[in-house]
Structure 1
């Protein structure tokens, strides 16, 4: 990732820049797409704004348009890669406010949902709560499996 895309005063931006937040999949003019560290639901991604912004209401029109483009592109990609059934999108900023002072940075969670099992690299990924808003059991996967997931997404971008 290019350092000019982040604000190094923002802790979240520092995480994006220096920490292993996830696997970088794609960058657009305004957004950075990562494969999320938790792959309980295969293909789960985080889309982070590439400038520091704390609230959804501060998005500029071009950022909204770029996001709309990514919604279509990522949903099409995850349908192609894993035959996702549907998608949940969430702009969840709750964890940012557990700290004092809070350090929010605008990002979206893209959570594909499945009415079927997905088999990959000898593993079975199952959406045990399909149709419900319940946390999925954590699924530990190897770095090799993470790479296979990332590669499969990139192939379908």
Structure 2
């Protein structure tokens, strides 16, 4: 496990794992269902990933999109590879919505819609709300596999 996976809560936030990738529920839910797609390797640049990781990426992104669509229909999906603070290869996966989404008594707006997402805003979730959301996302991933 690399430090980026640990920062985003692995293994407690894990939704799906393959040979080269982990899909995690993003602790800060910038949009409802926000995820982190993180390489399991120590690579700190895309070019350092093994070829097999790129080949596997197609299946993993298909699983993400099917699972998020099963969880909640989204208008768009953004994969953002910033790697400014967390050094290992990872993407922030943000389902995008034209209207605020409600889940577990919490409203999740998407103030950047349809433009660039606002990564600085996210509703504050309690531990039980976070757990309920993780469970719902996990159910969607299991149903898509």
The two structures have a TM-score, normalised by structure 1, of: 0.79
Equivalence for 1:101: none
The corresponding residue for 2:27 is 37
Q: Which of 57, 62, 66 is residue 67 of structure 1 equivalent to?
A: 57
RMSD between aligned alpha carbons? 2.0
Q: Residue 95 of structure 2 is aligned with which of 112, 123, 126?
A: 112
Superposition deviation, residue 17 in structure 1: 4.5
Q: How does 1:11-90 map to 2 (within 5 A)?
A: 13-14=2-3, 16-17=5-6, 20=9, 23-90=13-80
| TM-score scaled by length of structure 2 | 0.85
Is the Cα–Cα contact under 8 Å of residues 79 and 85 in structure 1 kept in the other structure?
no
Which runs of 5 or more structure 2 residues have no equivalent in the other structure?
none
Question: Contact 1:40/1:139 (CA < 8 Å) preserved in 2?
Answer: yes
Report how many aligned residue pairs link the two structures.
Answer: 139
Question: How far has the Cα of 1:14 moved from its partner?
Answer: 3.7
Higher Rg of the two aligned structures: 1
Runs of 4+ in 1 over 6 A off after TM superposition: none
